[in-house]
Amino acid sequence: MTDELLANNTRYAENFTGPLPLPPAKHVAVVACMDARINVYGVLGLNEGEAHVIRNAGGVVTDDEIRSLAISQRLLGTTEIILIHHTDCGMLTFTDDEFKKSIQDDTGIKPGWAAEAFSDLEEDVRQSIARIRTSPFVPTKDSIRGFIFDVATGKLNEVV
Amino acid sequence: MTDELLANNTRYAENFTGPLPLPPAKHVAVVACMDARINVYGVLGLNEGEAHVIRNAGGVVTDDEIRSLAISQRLLGTTEIILIHHTDCGMLTFTDDEFKKSIQDDTGIKPGWAAEAFSDLEEDVRQSIARIRTSPFVPTKDSIRGFIFDVATGKLNEVV
């Protein structure tokens, strides 16, 4: 499958115009779930060069997202943060204990990290925002907004 | 700026057809830098629903990327991994010590995490692949390929 995607890249490069500047033009950083159905550039109407995009299983905020946001704001001038979780998320389908036990059963080794599963989408968006708000390493917190992407409609619904 | 992007979302949703299935149709997971100039769906010609996309500052592999890859492979059936670093990366412009010292000077607190800066793109792609290869938590390692995206040409160049 990788080779098929590389053939797509050859076509993409044919119409590519670059290079654009390194700092994101819209001064926005997005933290979204890795889910295949969330095309972040499409969902937000972003063009190349406009926003940092950070993604992981769940769209949660761990030390690595704080690291990325710290670099984004401190070195590359972003000032707004958009968090995106989504309906029908895989993270709603298991618990940390179950997942880590299954890995231990399979490999003999229990991960030292949290799986970050959750049972309530809105609560986890608020949890992710709270982790950013309490971090001393992310300096600009004036605009941190969280959304749930609806995989049936394509719409972002804000968590308030 | 966030409100402008939400207006874009309204237009995106007008032509949206869903929902698609949860597991990625192409069984691929991508780990890429958060850089604003890398539109992963565009670069690889991906459609919604085809691949997990994991992104962070540098496109590096830390515990959180291992967590995401473990969930991607063990629960959602992906089997191939594509790593994407890129030319003109911000991670080439500082060192961990400098960045952490600047945060300590600003906030009084030194981050407990590594900033994951690097001085050689190809070496860091290999480092990221090596971290996946040595992880017991990522079960399928038959297709792990690393690339450097050229921000001037839009092309992916493989690191061998």
pLDDT 10s digits, A61-80: 999 999 999 999 999 999 99
> Which ranges constitute the DSSP H helices of chain B?
2-14, 40-43, 63-76, 96-107, 121-133
B113 touches chain A (CB under 8 A): yes
pLDDT at B105: 98
Given the cut 0.90, state whether the ipTM is greater than it. yes
Say which amino acid occupies A110.
K
- Segment A113-125 mean pLDDT: 98
DSSP A9-70: HHHHHHT---PPPSS-TT-EEEEEE--TT--HHHHTTPPTTSEEEEEEGGG---HHHHHHHH
Question: Predicted confidence band at A99 (pLDDT cuts at 50, 70, 90)?
Answer: very high
> A11, A22, A56, A72: best mutation site toward chain B, by most B Cβ within 10 Å?
A56
Beta-carbon separation of B1 and A27 below 8 A:
yes
Residue A118 contacts by C-beta under 8 Å, 6 or more apart in sequence? A58, A60, A91, A92, A124, A127
For residue A153, give the 3-state DSSP assignment: coil
Supply the DSSP symbol for B47. Answer: P
B106 pLDDT band (50/70/90 cuts)? very high
Amino acid at B112: G
As given in the structure block, the two tokens for residue B134 are 């040595």
> pLDDT-derived band of residue A101, with 50, 70 and 90 as boundaries?
very high
Query: Which domains, from first to last, does chain B contain?
Result: 20-159 (3.40.1050.10)
Residue B65, pLDDT score? 98
**Mean pLDDT, residues B19-40 taken together:** 98
Q: Is the peptide bond before B24 cis (omega within 30 degrees of 0)?
A: no
Given a contact cutoff of 8 angstroms between Cβ atoms, the answer to whether B58 and A76 are in contact is no
CB contact under 8 A, B8 and A45: yes
Q: Which of A51, A16, A50, A11 is nearest to A30 (CA)?
A: A51
Which strand (E) or helix (H) includes residue A75? helix A63-76
What is the token pair recorded at A150? 């609806």
Specify burial of residue A39 (Cβ count, 10 A radius: 0-12, 13-18, 19+): buried
- Is the distance from CB of A76 to CB of A23 less than 8 angstroms? yes
How far apart CA B101 and CA A35 sit, in angstroms, is: 35
> Measured between CB atoms, does A134 come within 8 Å of chain B?
no
- B94 touches A75 (CB < 8 A): yes
Q: Tell me if chain A has a CB within 8 Å of the CB of B33.
A: no
The mean pLDDT value of chain A amounts to: 98
Q: Containing H/E element for B22?
A: none
Residue B151: helix, strand or coil by DSSP? coil
> Tokens standing for B102?
């600047």
- The helix or strand, by DSSP H or E, that contains position A131, with its residue range, turns out to be helix A121-133
Q: What is the mean pLDDT of residues A1-25?
A: 97
Q: State the residue for tokens 């592999």.
A: B61
Q: Note whether A6 contacts B: Cβ–Cβ < 8 A.
A: yes
Average pLDDT, chain B: 98
